[in-house]
Amino acid sequence: MVSLIFSSIPVNLDICRVHVGGDFFNQRYFEAWLQVARLFPTKLFYAYTKSIPYWISNLDNIPANFILNGSRGGSRDNLLDEYSLKIAEVVLSLEEAEEKELPIDHDEFYALNNNGNFGLLIHGTQPKDSVAGEAIKTLKKNGVQFSYSRKKVLTK
C-alpha cells in the first residue's frame, strides 16, 4: 500500500491534503500514509479525520510533516477531548464560532499551522430547508466567505 501511495505523489508537490473527501478506512491504510510522509520529509501532509482510534494508536508515531485535524461530529468525539487532539469543527455562523472561541479557517492556515482548535463555516451541498441549508443562505445574504477553493492561498 505504501508503494502505491508513494508512486502517486507528484514530484513537485509541496503540500498534500490527504482525502479531499473520504477518510482513513483502516489502521493499515492510516499507517501507510504516515510512512509515505516519512519518505517525503520536505513535503507537508495534512488530513481531516473522524478515524480517531487510528490516530490514537499512533500518537507517538506521527511524523512532524503530517498534521492531523480531528473532525468533530463523529461517533468518537469523546476521544478528541480525552486525548486533547486538535479539532476542526463545522459551525453554522460567525457568531457560533465566536461563542465557541474558534477562529475560522478560510484558507487552510489553521489546518496546516495552528496547534489549536478551529472552526470551518458550513459549506458544500446541504439539504433543502435544513438548518445547514438555511445557514448557507444567511452566509450568502451577509456576504460571508464560506466556500473553500481548491487554490490555497495562506494569508495569515
Distances in whole angstroms, Cα of residue 60 to Cα of each of 57, 126, 148: 8, 37, 31
- What's residue 125's pLDDT? 77
What is the pLDDT tens value at each position of the chain, 156 positions in all?
999 999 999 999 999 999 988 899 999 999 999 999 999 999 999 999 999 999 999 999 999 999 999 999 999 999 999 999 999 999 999 999 999 999 999 899 999 986 799 999 997 777 888 887 788 777 888 788 776 655 554 444
Q: Where are the alpha helices (DSSP H) in the chain?
A: 2-8, 27-39, 52-56, 77-82, 94-99, 109-113, 131-141
- What's residue 129's pLDDT? 84
Domain positions in the chain: 1-6+13-69, 86-149
